[in-house]
Amino acid sequence: MSYQVLARKWRPRNFAEMVGQEHVVRALSNALDHDRLHHAYLFTGTRGVGKTTLARILSKSLNCETGVSSTPCGECSVCREIDEGRFVDLLEVDAASKTGVDDTRELLENVPYVPVRGRYKVYLIDEVHMFSGHSFNALLKTLEEPPPHVKFLLATTDPQKVPVTVLSRCLQFNLKRLPVAQIEGQIRHILEAEQVEFDADALGVLARAADGSMRDGLSLLDQAIAFGGGAVNSVDVRSMLGVVATERLPGMITAAHEGAAERVMSEIEAMSEHAPDFGGLLREVVTLLHRVAVLQQVPTAAQDSWGDAARLHALASLVPADEIQLYYQIALTGQRDLPLAPDARSGFEMVMLRMLAFRPDGADTGAEVGGGAQRPAAPRPAPDARPAQRSTPAADEVSDAAVATPVAAPVAARQSPPEVAAGDLKDWHGFVRRLGLKGMTAQLADNCVLDGWDGKALSLKVDPVCRGLIGSLAEHRLQEAVSEAVGHAVSLRLQVQAAEEETPAQREAREKRERHEATAADIAGDPLVLALQDTFDAEIVTDSIRRIE
């Protein structure tokens, strides 16, 4: 007897054997047991979650020789023929290969005729969204007023492409992606039943790679058994799936955060030994950064499908939230640019080099953790910060001294400001300009107004639009910048409150608006413009005006 793949051999034959989809199984079971049957059912969901399996079990429940119930016997000739795919009153159609209206009309010609053997004639139409518009129109009338002996079971992975006129005539069930734990449990059950040796760690890797699809999980399991020569172990599974490369990504992001360019490149070199798909690897980088960003805001949000949650939490605590957001944007843009690179690896390397080049100054010396707590300063060796060659022993001695001596946390994302008199703080607008801030720190300062200054403590009112920056790394950097400017430590108190006077950002916006209005007025009064308007009935598009200073 030829080998039967696990996905077919272990396909559920009744509702009790279904893994997951309890909400659908319960609804169908109650409908069958209480004789509340609809004439058309639509099963939606991603591939491999049980759409056609449920449809076949429902067909068996409708036609079992023991009667209509949610527990077909599985032993009568009807049940066996349905399991074997040769029941004459179950018509399975792949809509992807039967898209034409003529195909649909031919299919529906036999609808008026009674079943040959069963109680119901069941039409199982898979990937129904592939029907053409004319095919759907041909199906509509039959769906609306079908004969009592006909049931339609439709399945699709893309319900958005199914016309609402069809959706409204069907009882719709949305099948969910299966959790990692359920897929892992079923794989374990199958391996024990098949008497195949396995490592427990390998099951989790396979279940996560299945991405919510039981069929994909069993297909990967078949592949893993063949790859491992009749056994399933974690080393072989990781090598087969290429996750060895993926597991190095947190270390690579850590190296980028620390400015260690050599480590970043060596990580890429190590990953390349496993012949990865660098386009897929870049998608994994985006996914990793998204998960870290989620954990920074909601530490309890980790899911089983994410893999090693401890490494993700460690990365979330190490790298500041604004830096993770920057890396995410760089990686996202890199996905768009990757096809333009000479080859996928060089494109991937450039994405990581951008993270190194554009990371905030001193990014590894202070990080935002959880709800605003900050980790202590950690000085970085000079070679990581500036990978350029150092040529003289004196430079080496200076760098070593810098490493050995703890330094104050640098002010990130800004130029070093000149010292100013403490009294100048009362002119907050001018003081902010002299600080030379950048990035989110500049955004916070520009949206504040002075509320109080006694020479040691600085009170600021923060525009509500920037309430999210309070308690962030930007606040810490602003405090450092002010302290450095006045020459001594300054405590900072921020309060969210709409101030009566203008913030620097509001003043700049107003002045820019006034300059634009003045320019527009100058243009509107220009003789040449007036002549053009008069001759050609032209209009001035004020939004297109750009003032040249």
Element (H, E) at 209: helix 200-209
pLDDT for residue 549: 63
pLDDT for residue 305: 65
Question: Are 363 and 320 a contacting pair, CB within 8 Å?
Answer: yes
Q: Which two tokens stand for residue 185?
A: 């449990």
Q: Which two tokens stand for residue 124?
A: 């199982």
176-to-42, 43, 214 alpha-carbon distances in Å: 14, 11, 11
Question: Are 480 and 365 a contacting pair, CB within 8 Å?
Answer: no
Q: Is 164 exposed, middle or buried (0-12, 13-18, 19+ CB in 10 A)?
A: exposed
Taking alpha carbons only, the member of 83, 88, 116 closest to residue 13 is 83
pLDDT for residue 234: 83
Q: What residues does 495 pair with on adjacent strands? A: 461
Taking alpha carbons only, the member of 432, 457, 426 closest to residue 446 is 432
Q: How far apart, in whole angstroms, are the C-alpha atoms of residue 479 and residue 467?
A: 16
Q: How far apart, in whole angstroms, are the C-alpha atoms of residue 542 and residue 366?
A: 45
Question: Are 441 and 413 a contacting pair, CB within 8 Å?
Answer: yes
Taking alpha carbons only, the member of 547, 339, 364, 372 closest to residue 476 is 372
DSSP assignment letter at 266 = H
For the chain, which residues make up each domain, given as ranges?
A: 6-174, 180-241, 245-374, 422-501, 506-544
Q: How far apart, in whole angstroms, are the C-alpha atoms of residue 216 and residue 225?
A: 14
Question: From edge to edge, which strands make up the β-sheet containing 150-156?
Answer: 90-94, 121-126, 150-156, 40-44, 171-174
Question: What residues in the chain have per-residue pLDDT under 70?
Answer: 1, 244, 275, 304-305, 307, 361-425, 549
For CA atoms 494, 498, 503, 505, the dihedral sign is positive
Q: Write the class of the CATH domain 422-501.
A: alpha beta
Q: Write the class of the CATH domain 245-374.
A: mainly alpha
- The fold for domain 6-174 equals Rossmann fold (3.40.50)
> What DSSP assignment string belongs to 96-126?
TT--SHHHHHHHHTTTTSPPSSSSSEEEEEE
CATH number of 180-241: 1.10.8.60
Q: How far apart, in whole angstroms, are the C-alpha atoms of residue 292 and residue 312?
A: 6
Measured in whole angstroms, how far is the alpha carbon of residue 183 from the centre of its chain?
Answer: 21
Phi-psi region of 409 (alpha: psi -120 to 50; beta: other; left: phi over 0): beta
pLDDT for residue 41: 94
Q: What residues does 122 pair with on adjacent strands? A: 90, 151
Instruction: Name, in order, each residue with C-beta under 8 angstroms of 415's C-beta and a sequence gap of 6 or more.
Output: 436, 438
Topology alike, domains 6-174 and 422-501: no
Q: At what angle do helices 344-358 and 278-297 cross, to 10 degrees?
A: 30
pTM above 0.85, yes or no: no
Largest CA distance in the chain: 98
